C-alpha cells in the first residue's frame, strides 16, 4: 500500500514505516483489562489509542484482525495486598462465582467502551478459556531448557536465558544489575533467582481459580496468556503488539523471553506503548487509589470533578495529546477540551449549510494532506486536531462572508471533516446521536414547520393545514409569525 505510515517501535526506539507481514492483512494484539473493578480514566487511554490505530489501519485499507484479551485468571505476583488473587478475593467477599465477578465488570467495561465510541476488537479472548494453550507454552519452554519445576510451580530461568539471548531488550534493563541487587534476597524462595518469573503457579488451598496441569493444580503466570493467545489468533509472527508503557516491564519483556524461549524468536514486529494519565503528576491507578472511574466522569459523581464530562469530551481530551506523551488530568484541561470539541462540532454543522461561490480561498487539498501527514507520523492526533481547528476558522470566515469556497472544495471539505473527525478520530456528534434527545426532537419539529411554510408559499393549503392540525392534535401549540412559525408543547 502507498501510505507511508510510520509508527514508533519501542523495541528499536525508532519510528519505522509500517509494512505488514501479510498485506493486506494486519494483525494487532493489545493487552486488555484485568476485570475486577470498574474501568477508570487510565483504562480509557490504551483503549482509545489502539482504537485510533485500528480505525486508521482500516481506513488505509488493511484487513485488521485486532485481538484484545481479558485477564480473568488471578495472579499472585500482581497483587500487592496479602497475596490473594483479586478476582477470587472479590468473589469470596461478595459470595459470588469468580466468573460472575468477571462477567459483571466485563459488561460494565464494554458499556464504558461503547460510550467512548471504542470499536470492539475482532477477537476478545479470555485467559481462563486458554489454559490448554498456556500449558503447551510452558511445556515448550521446559523442553527447551529455559524453565524449571519447583514444588509444583514452573519458573522461567532468566539467568540461563540471558546467557543465550538478551533479557531486557525491550525495557533496556540490565540483567546483571538486577541479578546483583536481588540475589541476596532469595534465601528460602522456591525460585532459583528473584528475577525468575512464574510460568505456572501451584495453587494454595484457598485459591478458587485453578486448573489441572502436569505440575500441579494451579494457574498460569500472567505473562503466559498474551504469548499463548497472540500466537493462537495471530500466528507465530504478527505485526503489532500494544499496551500501556507500564506493561513494558516486566509483562512485555517476559512475553518476548517466552516467545524466544519457545519458538526461537520474538513474535512481534512492532511494539507500541501509550504513555500514562497522571493526576498532579502521579500515575492514575487502582494501586495508588487516585483514580476516577469513567462512570464517575460521565455522571460527575466524584469530589474531584467540577461537573459531568461527556464520553466524547473524555475521548477528545485523550486525543488532544500524542499517545506517547503524558496527559495530566485537571478540570481546566477537560473544560478546554469540552469547548474545543463543541467549536469543532459547530463548525461541522455550519459546514453543511455553506453556500458555494465561483472562487475559493480555502486550501482544502492542503488540509487533507496535512491531516494524513500527521496521522502517518506516528498517529499524531493533536496535529490533526489543530489542522481541523484551522479549518473551523476558514469555515467561519466563509459563513461570515469574509472568504469564499467553490462547490468542489466545499464537497471535499465536508469529506475531509467527516473522514478525520468521525471515521479516524472516532468522535460522534453527541447532540445528534441521541446524547441530547430534546435537541434532535426540536429539529424534527422545525423541519415539519419548514415544509408547512413551503406548502403555504405554494398555496398548497391542504398540506399546510394537515401539518398544523396534526401537530396540534399531538399537543403542540403553533403560532404563526412574520418569518415562519414558532412552536411549543402545550401542557
Of the pair 226, 272, the CB lying nearest Zn ion is at 226
**Phi and psi torsions of 359, nearest 5°:** -115, 165
Of the pair 228, 425, the CB lying nearest Zn ion is at 228
Q: Which residues contact 249 (CB under 8 A, 6 or more apart)?
A: 170, 171, 173
> Smallest gap, in angstroms, from Cβ of residue 30 to Zn ion?
8
- Binding piece for Zn ion, criterion CB under 5 A, among 154-162, 218-226, 335-343, 444-452: 218-226
Of the pair 240, 351, the CB lying nearest Zn ion is at 240
> Smallest gap, in angstroms, from Cβ of residue 322 to Zn ion?
23
CB 118 within 8 A of CB 47: yes
Using CA atoms, how far apart are residues 398 and 403, in angstroms rounded to an integer? 4
> Smallest gap, in angstroms, from Cβ of residue 29 to Zn ion?
8
> Smallest gap, in angstroms, from Cβ of residue 75 to Zn ion?
11
> Smallest gap, in angstroms, from Cβ of residue 86 to Zn ion?
16
Q: How many CB atoms lie within 10 A of CB 308?
A: 13
CB 304 within 8 A of CB 292: yes
**Residue 254 annotated in ligand binding:** no
Using CA atoms, how far apart are residues 281 and 286, in angstroms rounded to an integer? 16
DSSP helix, strand, coil percent of the chain (3-state; round to 5): 50, 15, 35
**Residue 202 annotated in ligand binding:** no
**Residue 399 annotated in ligand binding:** no
> Smallest gap, in angstroms, from Cβ of residue 470 to Zn ion?
59
> Smallest gap, in angstroms, from Cβ of residue 475 to Zn ion?
56
Q: How many CB atoms lie within 10 A of CB 145?
A: 12
Binding residues for Zn ion, rule CB under 5 A, total 2
Of the pair 31, 113, the CB lying nearest Zn ion is at 31
From residue 473, give the alpha-carbon distance in Å to each of 84, 438, 450, 452. Answer: 65, 20, 18, 16
> Smallest gap, in angstroms, from Cβ of residue 226 to Zn ion?
3
Tell me the pairing of strands 277-279 and 268-274: unpaired
- Binding piece for Zn ion, criterion CB under 5 A, among 24-32, 276-284, 294-302, 437-445: 24-32
Residues numbered 417-446 forming contacts with Zn ion, rule: CB under 5 A: none
From residue 25 to residue 54, the character string flagging contacts with Zn ion as x (rule: CB under 5 A) and all else as - is ------x-----------------------
Using CA atoms, how far apart are residues 287 and 154, in angstroms rounded to an integer? 27
Q: Enumerate the β-bridge partners of residue 243.
A: 273
Helices assigned H by DSSP within 377-436: 381-399, 407-417
* Per-residue cell: 327: 496527559
**Residue 255 annotated in ligand binding:** yes
Of the pair 199, 394, the CB lying nearest Zn ion is at 199
**Residue 286 annotated in ligand binding:** yes
Of the pair 90, 241, the CB lying nearest Zn ion is at 241
Residues numbered 219-278 forming contacts with Zn ion, rule: CB under 5 A: 226
Using CA atoms, how far apart are residues 127 and 251, in angstroms rounded to an integer? 15
Of the pair 141, 424, the CB lying nearest Zn ion is at 141
Does 198 engage in binding with Zn ion (CB under 5 A)?
Answer: no
Nearest to 146 by CA among 129, 127, 124, 163: 163
Q: Within 13 Å of residue 205, how many CA atoms lie on the same side as its CB?
A: 0
Of the pair 226, 478, the CB lying nearest Zn ion is at 226
What are the binding residues for ATP?
A: 286
What are the binding residues?
A: 31, 226, 251, 255, 286
Contact residues for Zn ion, defined by CB under 5 A: 31, 226
What are the binding residues for Zn(2+)?
A: 31, 226, 251, 255
Amino acid at each position: 500500500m502507498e501510505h507511508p505510515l510510520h509508527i514508533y517501535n519501542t523495541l528499536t526506539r525508532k519510528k519505522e514505516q509500517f509494512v505488514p507481514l501479510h498485506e493486506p492483512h494486519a494483525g494487532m494484539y493489545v493487552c486488555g483489562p484485568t476485570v475486577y473493578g470498574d474501568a477508570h480514566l487510565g483504562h480509557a487511554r490504551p483503549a482509545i489509542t489502539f482504537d485510533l490505530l485500528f480505525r486508521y489501519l482500516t481506513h488505509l485499507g488493511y484487513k485488521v484482525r485486532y485481538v484484545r484479551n481479558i485477564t480473568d485468571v488471578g495472579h499472585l505476583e500482581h497483587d500487592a495486598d496479602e497475596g490473594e488473587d483479586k478476582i477470587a478475593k472479590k468473589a469470596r467477599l461478595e459470595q459470588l462465582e469468580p466468573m460472575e465477578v468477571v462477567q459483571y465488570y466485563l459488561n460494565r467495561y464494554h458499556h464504558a467502551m461503547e460510550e467512548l465510541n471504542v470499536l470492539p476488537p475482532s477477537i476478545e479472548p479470555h485467559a481462563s478459556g486458554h489454559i490448554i494453550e498456556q500449558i503447551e507454552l510452558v511445556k515448550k519452554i521446559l523442553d527447551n531448557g529455559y524453565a524449571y519445576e519447583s514444588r509444583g510451580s514452573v519458573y522461567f530461568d532468566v539467568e540461563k536465558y540471558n546467557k543465550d539471548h538478551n533479557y531486557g531488550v525491550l525495557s533496556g534493563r540490565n540483567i546483571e544489575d538486577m541479578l546483583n541487587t536481588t540475589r541476596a534476597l532469595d534465601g528460602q524462595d522456591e525460585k532459583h533467582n528473584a528475577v525468575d518469573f512464574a510460568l505456572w503457579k501451584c495453587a494454595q488451598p484457598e485459591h478458587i481459580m485453578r486448573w489441572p496441569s502436569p505440575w500441579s493444580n494451579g494457574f498460569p503466570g500472567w505473562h503466559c496468556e498474551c504469548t499463548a493467545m497472540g500466537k493462537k489468533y495471530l500466528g507465530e509472527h504478527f505485526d503489532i503488539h500494544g499496551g500501556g508503557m507500564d506493561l513494558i516491564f516486566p509483562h512485555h519483556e517476559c512475553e518476548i523471553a517466552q516467545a524466544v524461549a519457545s519458538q526461537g524468536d520474538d513474535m512481534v514486529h512492532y511494539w507500541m506503548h501509550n504513555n500514562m494519565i497522571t493526576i498532579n503528576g502521579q500515575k492514575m491507578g487502582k494501586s495508588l487509589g487516585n483514580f476516577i472511574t469513567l462512570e464517575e466522569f460521565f455522571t460527575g459523581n466524584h469530589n474531584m470533578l467540577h461537573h459531568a464530562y461527556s464520553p466524547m469530551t473524555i475521548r477528545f481530551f485523550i486525543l488532544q495529546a500524542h499517545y506517547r506523551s503524558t496527559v495530566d488530568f485537571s478540570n481546566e484541561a477537560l473544560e478546554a477540551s469540552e469547548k474545543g470539541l463543541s467549536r469543532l462540532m459547530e463548525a461541522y454543522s455550519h459546514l453543511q449549510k455553506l453556500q458555494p461561490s465561483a472562487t475559493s480561498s480555502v486550501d482544502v487539498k492542503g488540509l487533507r494532506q496535512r491531516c494524513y501527514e500527521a496521522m502517518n507520523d506516528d498517529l499524531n492526533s493533536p496535529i490533526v486536531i489543530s489542522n481541523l481547528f484551522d479549518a473551523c476558522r476558514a469555515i467561519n470566515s466563509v459563513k461570515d462572508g469574509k472568504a469564499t469556497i467553490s462547490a468542489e472544495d466545499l464537497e471535499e471539505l465536508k469529506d475531509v471533516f467527516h473522514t478525520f473527525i468521525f471515521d479516524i478520530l472516532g468522535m460522534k456528534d453527541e447532540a445528534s446521536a441521541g446524547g441530547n434527545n430534546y435537541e434532535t426532537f426540536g429539529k424534527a419539529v422545525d423541519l415539519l414547520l419548514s415544509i408547512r411554510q413551503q406548502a403555504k408559499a405554494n398555496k398548497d393549503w391542504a398540506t399546510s393545514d394537515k401539518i398544523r392540525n396534526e401537530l396540534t392534535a399531538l399537543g403542540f401549540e403553533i403560532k404563526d409569525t412574520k418569518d415562519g412559525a414558532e412552536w411549543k408543547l402545550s401542557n
